[in-house]
Amino acid sequence: MKIDLEAVLATARAWLSQDPDAQTHDELAVAIDAAADGSGAAARELVERFDGRLAFGTAGLRAELGWGPLRMNRVVVTQAAAGLARFLIDTGRQRSVVIGYDGRVNSDVFARDSAEVMRGLGLDVTLLPSALPTPVLAFAVRHLDVGAGVMVTASHNPPRDNGYKVYLGGDDEGSQIVPSVDATIAAAIDVVAAGSIADLPRASDYTVATAALVDAYVAATAATVPAAALPVDQQPSVVYTAMHGVGWATARAVFAAAGFAIPTTVPEQIEPDGAFPTVSFPNPEEPGAMDLAIARGVEVGADLVIANDPDADRLALAIPDGSGSYRRLSGNEVGWLLGWRAASRASAAGVTGTLAASIVSSPALSRVAARHGLEYRDTLTGFKWVSRVPDLLFGYEEALGYLVDPQVVRDKDGISAALELLSLASSLAAEGSSIAGQLGAFAAEFGAFASGQVATRVDDLSRIGTIMAALRSSPPESLGGLAVESVTDYTDGVEGFPPSDILRYDLSGEARVIVRPSGTEPKVKVYIDTVAKSPAEAQRLVDALAADIRPRVS
């Protein structure tokens, strides 16, 4: 296809004229000059960068930093802020917003731009006082009773990324946005993007929250657990890493307020650093991401190693493996333990309610709910769905997200989950047990569950559709030696779920395989769950299923 270079240059120059960031402005200016002077590479880059714009969806915005409408930058963020303000005004919602930001590159800049533009458009705006965890922002939406909340963060994405996450107050109770609200906000952003951000009114008389707001989060979170079962000097020893994120100061305050010992830290990773110098991918799920924390655990002989991701909405846990190192628990294993604890408390208090997990998380939690006379609910992937389950007592997703008290934060919260684990470990130690012992007790009580994943990354996105179509046209009769007893295709519409590109295979022996395209990466992902009489047998079944399904999605 022939490139209309003059049209592309005109679009790029219009963008340049409204870009207030010196770095991206200068980089784009160089690219424009090079393309105008005949550089084919520069022209192709301009076409690539201006061929559309970042889609605003239920995860808000998230992309690499850089110039142009397909990257995260001050122009894109300002357009999003103005569009969100227009949405609140046009839909008659509360004309108020609270804005938070983490320690990534430009998070503070994007937050201040948002505050100035939203205030200029007439909203009551509160900016959090410093770089803080995402759960503090989610808490603030309800605590301040505002119409919306914005968190500038890319969570656990690669270092060069940033993002823009939106929460809603009022009847949405501080949960993240879901369809069709995302489309309505996106349409409002498109209207703003048709003009220049230079024409948007700005105002600097927004409110900056005081430390009292953070103190309120600390107090509310500390109150979610009972008093520590052991004195500080007798509690299990803990190593903590913030993974160069913003979790430590708030987590430390929460632990102290609840009566728990202050963990030993990983010095190289404890302060916010948007360069993430010790990890290539700041996600505790990624191989190697917890290596420094585990080495610190070995050094001090810790009973637990816990990690928050950079915005502290996720939590990872590792425990001694008996051979001088540590085993990182899966998100499902932590979810089982925290869900069992929540269900036991509810039963003891005579409380009814619902346990929930995303559909790709282990079915173990449903057994816990049934045993304790509680309701159970599967949801689509994404915590925006888990958090909206009615009468929710506890919810989780296997990607290290846990909601332990919906009355405090209506989203995953890695700090309150860490506190819950410290409380559980202390109670178990007082009884002469441990987290490892509790995993064994869970298997004895509910069955030995195991989980696994297979992922296929593609270079051509059309390959994902081809893989899913092949599975639909030729469904397997067995997998890993287990008979396929039923196939559920969620594109056909399943009660309680909107049509979704998900295939579920229920197998003999209560095993399960779920296949879906990733929502954030060019991957097909497979989730495998089994249950058996022993952990070893459950894991053997996982391995057999993985070996069988892998070539089918490659």
User: Are 406 and 276 found together in one domain?
Assistant: yes
For β-strands 207-208 and 238-241, DSSP reports them as: unpaired
Question: Can you give the pLDDT at residue 393?
Answer: 98
Residue 472 lies in a domain: yes
Question: Can you give the pLDDT at residue 83?
Answer: 98
For β-strands 523-532 and 448-457, DSSP reports them as: antiparallel
C-beta separation of 118 from 85 below 8 A: yes
388/411 Cα distance (integer angstroms): 9
Neighbours of 48 (CB within 10 A): 11
Q: Find, among 60, 244, 212, the residue nearest to 136 by Cα.
A: 212
pTM above 0.75, yes or no: yes
Q: What is the DSSP string of 385-403?
A: HHTT-TTEEEEEETTTEEE
- What's the burial of 408, exposed, middle or buried (CB within 10 Å: 0-12/13-18/19+)? buried
* Annotated catalytic residue 508: no
541/554 Cα distance (integer angstroms): 20
Question: Can you give the pLDDT at residue 461?
Answer: 86
Residue 215 lies in a domain: no
Both tokens of residue 235?
């509690």
Both tokens of residue 381?
């992937």
Q: Is the peptide bond before 180 cis (omega within 30 degrees of 0)?
A: yes
Residue 284 lies in a domain: yes
Q: Find, among 366, 218, 216, 240, the residue nearest to 315 by Cα.
A: 240
- What's the structural domain count of the chain? 4
Task: Identify the H or E element spanning 371.
Answer: helix 364-371
Among candidate residues 423, 443, 463, the one where a domain is terminated: 443
For residue 554, the 8-state DSSP code is -
User: Are 297 and 437 found together in one domain?
Assistant: yes
User: Are 84 and 188 found together in one domain?
Assistant: yes
User: Are 404 and 511 found together in one domain?
Assistant: no
Q: Find, among 437, 362, 401, 436, the residue nearest to 284 by Cα.
A: 401
- Provide the domain limits for residue 422: 226-443
168/318 Cα distance (integer angstroms): 34
Check 155, 330, 361, 423 and give the catalytic one.
155
Residue 480 lies in a domain: yes
User: Are 409 and 274 found together in one domain?
Assistant: yes
Residue 217 lies in a domain: no
User: Are 402 and 530 found together in one domain?
Assistant: no
Both tokens of residue 58?
């239920």
CATH code: domain of residue 312: 3.40.120.10
CATH code: domain of residue 497: 3.30.310.50
Question: Can you give the pLDDT at residue 206?
Answer: 98
User: Are 265 and 282 found together in one domain?
Assistant: yes
User: Are 199 and 295 found together in one domain?
Assistant: no
Among candidate residues 180, 209, 238, the one where a domain is terminated: 209
The low-confidence residues of the chain, meaning pLDDT below 50, are 1
User: Are 273 and 390 found together in one domain?
Assistant: yes
Residue 214 lies in a domain: no
Three-class DSSP labels, 359-370: CCCCCHHHHHHH
Both tokens of residue 77?
């963020």
Q: Name the strands in the sheet holding 326-328, side by side, starting at the edge strand that comes first in the sequence.
A: 264-265, 238-241, 304-308, 315-320, 326-328
Question: Can you give the pLDDT at residue 548?
Answer: 96
Q: What is the DSSP string of 335-360?
A: HHHHHHHHHHHHHHHT---EEEEETT
Specify the length of the chain in residues. 554
User: Are 478 and 386 found together in one domain?
Assistant: no
Residue 255 lies in a domain: yes
User: Are 455 and 524 found together in one domain?
Assistant: yes
Question: Can you give the pLDDT at residue 57?
Answer: 86
Both tokens of residue 316?
């990872």
User: Are 477 and 516 found together in one domain?
Assistant: yes
Question: Can you give the pLDDT at residue 2?
Answer: 63
364/361 Cα distance (integer angstroms): 9
Residue 252 lies in a domain: yes
Q: Find, among 254, 249, 252, 227, the residue nearest to 426 by Cα.
A: 227
Among candidate residues 408, 443, 478, the one where a domain is terminated: 443
